[in-house]
Amino acid sequence: MALLDDLRALLGADHVLTEAADVAPYLSDWTGAFVGTAAAVLRPADTAQVAAAVGACAAAGVAVVPQGGNTGLAGGGVPDASGEQVVLVLDRLRRVRSVDPVADTITVEAGVVLATVQEQAAAVGRLFPLSLGSEGSCTVGGNVSTNAGGTAVLRYGMMRDLVLGLEVVLPDGRVWDGLRPLRKDNTGYDLKQLFIGAEGTLGIVTAAVLRMLPDTPRRATALLALPSVDAAVALLPLLREHGGGELSTWELVDRQALELVTANLPEARDPFGEPHPCYGLVEYAGSADHVASRLEEALTDGVERGLVVDAVVAGSPSQRAELWALREGVSEAQKVEGATLKHDVTLPITDLAGYVAEVGPRVLDALPGARLVVYGHIGDGNLHYNVSAPVGDDDALRAAAPALTRIVYDAVAARGGSISAEHGLGALKRDAAASYKSDVEVELMRTVKRALDPRGLMNPGKVLPD
C-alpha cells in the first residue's frame, strides 16, 4: 500500500505498526465488546506528525480512528471490521508544555495521562479536579473528546468546564491553533466546544490548555449505609448545606455492586456488619481541618432524619483509599464477573428514585435472574444502570440485551433524561441516541459533521449513524 510507505517516511517505520501482535492491543476496547481490524496503527510523535499523517490519509481517502488510553466505554476508539481504517494513537504526545500558577493553567499534549496532570497541578499547590477510576491510563485527548465526567463533577463540572483552549488537527490535515489560556474570549463561535465531546469525529485534539483550581489538601470521607435510593437523593441538599461549598463527591453504590466488589477484588471488604440496600460515598474537600467536623455534623443530621443507617468515616489516607476502592472497583468487579450490559443514564435528580423503582421489576421480568448493578454519580443525577448476567448464563444476557436496553432507555426518555451522561455514544449508542433525539437535533449534528469532515474520514461510524 503506497500510503503505508508514505506514512513510514513521515513517522519512521517503527511507528507504523502492521504486525498482528503489535496492532492487537489497539483493536479492541476495554470491555472486550468491540474488536476491529486496521490497515495500520500510527504512533506520531508530535502535532506536526499528526497533521502530516492525517493529511496523507485524507489524500488517500483512508479513514482515521483517533485513540488515547483506550479506556473508553462506548467503543469509540477502535476501528471497524473492514481492515481499511488506520488507528492513530496519541500516546507519544506526552509533553507537559507549561504549568502556570499565576494564570492557574496547565498546557499539555493529548497523550498525557490524566493522573500526570493531577500530579503536575499538585506539585505547584493546585488541583486538577477531573477524577475517574481510569485516571492512571486515560489521556487528556480522550477526556476532552468524551467530555469525561467522574466523581467530582458535582463541584467542578465535566471536562468541558476545565478546558480553556485546544489545538486540533482537522480532517484534511490542517492545524487549528486555539491553544489560548484566556478566561474571556467572545470572538464569535466558541470553536473548541465543537471538539469537546465529539469523540474524534471532527478532528484530532493534539493539545489542551486546562484550568487549575485551589488545592483541597484536607479531605473528610465516609461510606454511608442507606435505607434507599430515595434517601440518597434526599441527602444531597443536606450534605450540600453542611458542606459550606466543600462537598466534592456524592456517589451511590447499591448492594449488588458492593457484593460484586467484595467477591471479586482481593483487598475489598464490606465495612458494615450487615447488608444494606445501598451505600453512599461522600467527600468534603477543603484547605482547613473543619471539613471533618462539617462531615460529622452532616452525618448526625442524616441519622436523626432517618436517611443514614450507619456510617464509616475514614480515619487515615489508607482507610480513605479502601472506601474509594469499594466505589471505583465496581467496573472491574463487574468485568471479572462475566457479561455486562452498560447503561450510563442521567435524569433530573428528583426522578432518580422513581426511575430505579420502576425499571428494576421490568428488567427482571424480561430476564429473570439478571443482576441489577446500579451505582454512580448520584449527586449529578447520573446512574450506571448496569446489568450483569444471571450467574453462569452470559448467553441469556446477550440474547436479552436489546430488550433490556430498550426498557432502560425508554424510561429515561419518558422522564426527559439522556442515555449518555458521560461515556459518549461511540459505536455503542449512536443508533439509540439518534432514535431518541428529534430530527432537528440529528440534522444539526449531521450539518456540523459535514461542515468539518465533508468526506466522512474522521472516525466514521461513531456518534452519528452512517
Task: Give contact residues for ligand FAD (rule: CB under 6 A).
Answer: 30, 65-73, 76-77, 90, 110, 132-134, 138-139, 141-143, 145-146, 148-150, 199-200, 204-205, 331, 422-423, 426, 459, 462
| C-beta closer to ligand FAD: residue 308 or 464 | 464
Least separation, in Å, of the C-beta of 110 and ligand FAD?
4
Choose from ligand FAD, ligand 2HG, none: what does 412 bind? Cβ within 5-8 Å by kind.
none
Choose from ligand FAD, ligand 2HG, none: what does 384 bind? Cβ within 5-8 Å by kind.
ligand 2HG
Least separation, in Å, of the C-beta of 130 and ligand FAD?
9
Least separation, in Å, of the C-beta of 408 and ligand FAD?
18
- Positions touching ligand 2HG (CB under 6 A) are 73, 133, 330-331, 342, 376, 384, 386
Least separation, in Å, of the C-beta of 267 and ligand 2HG?
18
Choose from ligand FAD, ligand 2HG, none: what does 26 bind? Cβ within 5-8 Å by kind.
none
Phi/psi of residue 280, nearest 5 degrees: -125, 135
**C-alpha to C-alpha distance for 198 and 26, rounded to whole angstroms:** 20
Least separation, in Å, of the C-beta of 295 and ligand 2HG?
22
Least separation, in Å, of the C-beta of 446 and ligand FAD?
18
Choose from ligand 2HG, ligand FAD, none: what does 386 bind? Cβ within 5-8 Å by kind.
ligand 2HG
| C-beta closer to ligand FAD: residue 73 or 225 | 73
Least separation, in Å, of the C-beta of 40 and ligand FAD?
16
Least separation, in Å, of the C-beta of 113 and ligand FAD?
8
Neighbours of 425 (CB within 10 A): 23
Burial (0-12, 13-18, 19+ Cβ within 10 Å), 2? exposed
Choose from ligand 2HG, ligand FAD, none: what does 430 bind? Cβ within 5-8 Å by kind.
none
CA max distance for the chain: 73
Neighbours of 435 (CB within 10 A): 13
Choose from ligand 2HG, ligand FAD, none: what does 405 bind? Cβ within 5-8 Å by kind.
none
| C-beta closer to ligand 2HG: residue 133 or 173 | 133
Least separation, in Å, of the C-beta of 92 and ligand 2HG?
27
Choose from ligand FAD, ligand 2HG, none: what does 204 bind? Cβ within 5-8 Å by kind.
ligand FAD
Choose from ligand FAD, ligand 2HG, none: what does 107 bind? Cβ within 5-8 Å by kind.
none
| C-beta closer to ligand 2HG: residue 120 or 388 | 388
**C-alpha to C-alpha distance for 310 and 404, rounded to whole angstroms:** 33
Q: Which residue of the chain is nearest ligand 2HG when measured via CB?
A: 331
| C-beta closer to ligand 2HG: residue 63 or 433 | 433
| C-beta closer to ligand FAD: residue 77 or 302 | 77
Q: Which residue has the cell 496523507?
A: 56
**C-alpha to C-alpha distance for 162 and 157, rounded to whole angstroms:** 8
